[in-house]
Amino acid sequence: MSRVLQERALLRCGAGFSFIELMFTLAIMAILALVAVPMVQHSIARNKEFALRNGLQEIRSAIDAYKRASEQGSILRKEGDTPFPKQLEELVTGVPDQRNPNKSNIQFLRRIPRDPFAPEAASAADSWGKRSSTSAPSSPEEGEDIFDVYSRSSKIGLNGVPLNQW
C-alpha cells in the first residue's frame, strides 16, 4: 500500500515535463532541422552534379574514341561525312570494324548515361542536348553528326556556372 501512495505523491509533485521544457526541446529540434535540411539539399545537388560531370566525361571520351577510330580507317565513312557519330546510340550498338572484318562491332560505350537534371520521361540519349560539328560553340544546334553533348538544364551549378555550359 505504501508504494501506491508514493507513486501518487510523485504524480502530484510534478514528476512529468513542464510546458516550458517541452517548448525548449521543440525549439532545439527545430533549429537542428533548419541546419540539416540545407545540408541535405546541398548534398543532393552535389551528387547530381557529380553524376552530370561523369556522364559528360564518359560520352565525350566515347565521341573522341569514335573520331580517332574513324580517322584511322576503322570506321567506314562516305565522302563528305565527318568523323563523328550520327547518333549517340552508335556508341553503344557499335560499328563494323573495317580493319578487321572478322571481328565484331567496335563499341565505345556500354550504356548511355542519363543527364541527371533531365526529366525522367526522356530516354537516356534524348536527355542530352547535342551539338553538331557545324554549329558554333556559343549557340549549339543539332545537325547531321554529334560533336559534343551538354545538359539542357538551365540551373546554375554550385560553382556558379550554368549546367548547360559545362
Chain segment 77-115, per-residue pLDDT in tens: 888 788 999 999 999 988 888 887 777 788 899 999 999
Residue of higher predicted confidence among 77 and 24: 24
Question: What pLDDT shows up at residue 57?
Answer: 95
- Sign of the CA dihedral with 67 first, then 142, 86, and 115 last: positive
The proportion of the chain whose per-residue pLDDT surpasses 70, expressed as a percent, equals 90
> Of the ranges 10-19, 129-138, 140-149, which one carries the lowest mean pLDDT score?
10-19
**Length in residues, the chain:** 166
CA-CA distance, 7 to 12, in Å (whole number)? 9
Q: How confident is the model at residue 63 (pLDDT cuts 50, 70, 90)?
A: very high
Longest dimension (CA), the chain: 105
Question: What pLDDT shows up at residue 4?
Answer: 66
- 29-58 tens-digit pLDDT: 999 989 888 888 889 999 999 999 999 999
pTM value is: 0.75
Question: What pLDDT shows up at residue 71?
Answer: 87
CA-CA distance, 97 to 120, in Å (whole number)? 34
- Amino acid code (one letter) for 4: V
